[in-house]
C-alpha cells in the first residue's frame, strides 16, 4: 500500500526545514562581518540629526498653526501644543535661536487660539 499524500508532504517538508544555528559554519547564509551598534547617548548630542530635525519640524508645524488659528482655533490649540513640544526639544540642539523663535511664535499662536475658542 503506497503512503498517503499527507505523509509524503510532511516527510518532504521536514527535509526542507533547516534546524539549528543559521550562523554556524557551513551555513548557507552569510555572517555579517561587523555590526556597529548605536550608542544611546549619541542620539542626544546637540549636533544630532534628531534634535535638529525637531527645529525643522517646528517650523513646518508653524505653518499649520497659522492656518488653524485662522480657520479652526480649537484644533489650533493641539497643533500649537505640538509645535511648542518640538521647539522645546529643539532647544537642546545647536540651533537654539531658531528653536527659541519657534517657541515664542507657537506660544503666541497658542494664546491666540485659546482666546478665540473662549
Instruction: Read off the C-alpha cell for 65.
Output: 498653526
Assess contact for 89 and 51: CB atoms under 8 A.
Answer: yes
Residues whose CB is less than 8 angstroms from the CB of residue 6 and which lie 6 or more positions away in sequence, other chains included: none
Instruction: Read off the C-alpha cell for 53.
Output: 530635525
Residues whose CB is less than 8 angstroms from the CB of residue 33 and which lie 6 or more positions away in sequence, other chains included: none
Q: Which of 77, 89, 86, 80 has its CA nearest to residue 58?
A: 86
What is the structure's pLDDT at 99?
94
Q: CB-based burial of residue 114 (10 Å sphere; 0-12 exposed, 13-18 middle, 19+ buried)?
A: middle
pLDDT digits (tens, 9 = 90+) for 80-95: 999 999 999 999 888 9
Tell me, yes or no, if the pTM score tops 0.85. Answer: no
What is the structure's pLDDT at 87?
95
Assess contact for 58 and 107: CB atoms under 8 A.
Answer: no
What is the structure's pLDDT at 38?
60
Residues of the chain falling short of pLDDT 50: none
What is the structure's pLDDT at 81?
95
Q: Cell 515664542, residue?
A: 104
Amino acid at each position: 500500500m503506497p503512503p498517503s499524500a499527507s505523509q509524503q508532504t510532511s516527510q518532504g517538508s521536514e527535509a526542507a526545514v533547516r534546524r539549528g544555528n543559521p550562523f554556524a559554519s557551513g551555513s548557507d547564509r552569510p555572517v555579517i562581518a561587523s555590526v556597529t551598534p548605536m550608542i544611546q547617548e549619541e542620539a542626544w548630542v546637540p549636533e544630532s540629526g534628531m534634535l535638529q530635525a525637531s527645529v525643522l519640524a517646528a517650523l513646518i508645524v508653524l505653518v499649520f498653526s497659522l492656518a488653524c488659528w485662522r480657520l479652526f482655533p480649537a484644533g489650533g490649540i493641539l497643533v500649537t501644543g505640538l509645535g511648542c513640544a518640538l521647539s522645546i526639544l529643539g532647544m537642546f540642539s545647536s540651533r537654539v535661536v531658531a528653536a527659541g523663535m519657534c517657541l515664542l511664535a507657537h506660544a503666541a499662536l497658542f494664546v491666540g487660539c485659546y482666546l478665540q475658542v473662549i
